[in-house]
Amino acid sequence: MNLSTLAAVVKSRFPSQCAVCRSWPSAPVCQACVTRFGPPDKRCSTCALKLPTDPPHTQCSRCRHEPFGLDACFAALPYAFPWSELVSRFKFDSQTGWAPFMVNTLLGQPTVRDFLSQLTPDDWLLPLPLSTERLAWRGFNQAWELTRALKHQSTCRATADASLLLRIRHTRPQSELKRSARLDNLKGAFAVAPLRASELQGRRVVLVDDVMTSGASLLTAASVLRQAGATHVSALVLTRTAPT
């Protein structure tokens, strides 16, 4: 464990200085900042975009008229200040100690807790995988760190596995591409581990990731899982970008 990761672990578990407002002593992010920058939002049940409070729909207009490709999707926070900066520290600065705080924030959503409580050991909790090249460069898969923390910090009984769904083709970062090119970029990128498709027959799968933008990665992975026999594919994401 490098020094930056160790520091993040210590900060996530002991009172310290708030990473946003610098108040002291504090949790990694103080409750005042969580309340200010991350109030609970009503979100679309299938794509997790923020919904207006009126009228009282459970889906956005797009998902009501066109199936999105996920049976359910949950997000805890907007991908905006300060969360976008904290996700970048977690993801690109090897500060994996942020995972417990981020998962606590996700579990703070009543809809997430209720959803997880319905899962059984026959269901799967799968991190969105990285390519071999990106995993070697980054040193860890942030989605797997979130998945492990979910299992550790909740009563979720689903089986967590980092090797059932694979990323078999290295692709350009989605952030470099326009929305229309993101699905094409991911064609053939995911696959179920050889000889393990039978483990998905008739099962529910929950995909876990840190950021959802267009949803192209999650949708492509969901399609592969359905082709292998999964009957219900949902997603849990820490942050969701606003529509563009």
DSSP for 141-167, written as a single string: -HHHHHHHHHHHHS---SEE-SSSEEE
- The token pair that represents 210 in the structure block: 């840190």
Domains annotated on the chain, with CATH: 40-240 (3.40.50)
Residue 23 CB neighbours (<10 A) = 13
pLDDT for residue 238: 96
Q: Which residue type does 214 have?
A: S
pLDDT for residue 39: 87
Beta 124-127 vs 165-167: how paired, if at all?
unpaired
pLDDT for residue 16: 74
Backbone φ and ψ for 163, nearest 5 degrees, come out as -125, 5
* Closest alpha carbon to 130 in 234, 228, 213, 208: 208
Distance CA 67, CA 75 (A): 18
| pLDDT tens digits in sequence order for the chain, 244 residues long | 555 555 555 555 555 789 999 998 778 899 999 999 998 889 999 999 999 877 778 999 999 999 899 999 999 999 999 999 999 999 999 899 999 999 999 999 889 999 999 999 999 999 999 999 999 999 999 999 999 999 999 999 999 999 999 999 877 666 656 666 776 777 888 999 999 999 999 999 999 999 999 899 999 999 999 999 999 999 999 999 987 6
Distance CA 120, CA 196 (A): 19
Backbone φ and ψ for 204, nearest 5 degrees, come out as -95, 140
Distance CA 97, CA 151 (A): 15
The stretches of 79-172 forming alpha helices (DSSP H) are: 83-92, 99-107, 110-117, 132-138, 142-153
Rg (CA), the chain: 18
Per-residue burial over 85-95, b if 16 or more Cβ lie within 10 Å, else e, is ebbeebbeebb
